[in-house]
Structure 1
Amino acid sequence: MAQRPERRKSALGAAHPIEHQNSQPTEPGERGAVDSRVVVQPIVTKEEQAERQVRDGRTAKPKVQPKGSFYADEDVLERIRAAWFHTPTTAAEREASFSDFLREAALDRMLRRENTYNDGKPFPVVASGKIARGRR
Structure 2
Amino acid sequence: MSEPLEHSATLFDLEPVESATPKPAARVEDPKEQDGEAAEQGALDIGIAIPTPFSEPEVDEEVEAEAKEVNEDVLQHPESAPRKHPNKVSFYQEPEDTARLRGAVLHTMVAEGHRSLSQFVIRAVMKEVQRLEEKYNDGKPFPAVAANEMPQGRPQR
Query: Does the CA contact (< 8 Å) of 2:109 and 2:115 recur in 1?
Result: no
> In structure 2, do the counterparts of structure 1 residues 123 and 104 end up closer, same or farther at CA, with 3 Å as the change threshold?
same
- Residue 33 of structure 1: aligned partner: none
Q: 2:71 is matched with which residue: 26, 49, 53?
A: 49
- Relative contact order higher in (CA < 8 Å, ≥ 6 apart): 1
- Residue 148 of structure 2: aligned partner: 129
Pair 1:68 & 2:84 matched: no
TM-score (norm 1): 0.53
Alignment of 1:1-136 (within 5 A): 7=35, 49=71, 51=73, 62-63=82-83, 65-89=86-110, 91=111, 93-136=112-155
Tell me the distance in 2 between the aligned counterparts of 1:135 and 1:122.
26
CA-to-aligned-CA distance 1:114-136 (integer Å, 9 cap, x gap): 00000000001111101123432
Give the paired residue count.
85
Specify the SS of the correspondent of 1:87: helix
Query: Does the CA contact (< 8 Å) of 1:84 and 1:94 recur in 2?
Result: no
5+ residue gaps in structure 2? 1-33, 37-67, 75-80
Say which one has the larger Rg: 2
Tell me the distance in 1 between the aligned counterparts of 2:150 and 2:117.
24
Aligned-residue identity in percent: 37
Specify the SS of the correspondent of 1:124: coil
Residue identity opposite 1:62 in structure 2: P
Offset, 1:50: 8.0
Specify the SS of the correspondent of 2:145: coil
Q: CA RMSD in A?
A: 2.9
Residue identity opposite 2:98 in structure 1: L
Offset, 1:88: 4.9
Tell me the distance in 2 between the aligned counterparts of 1:95 and 1:119.
30
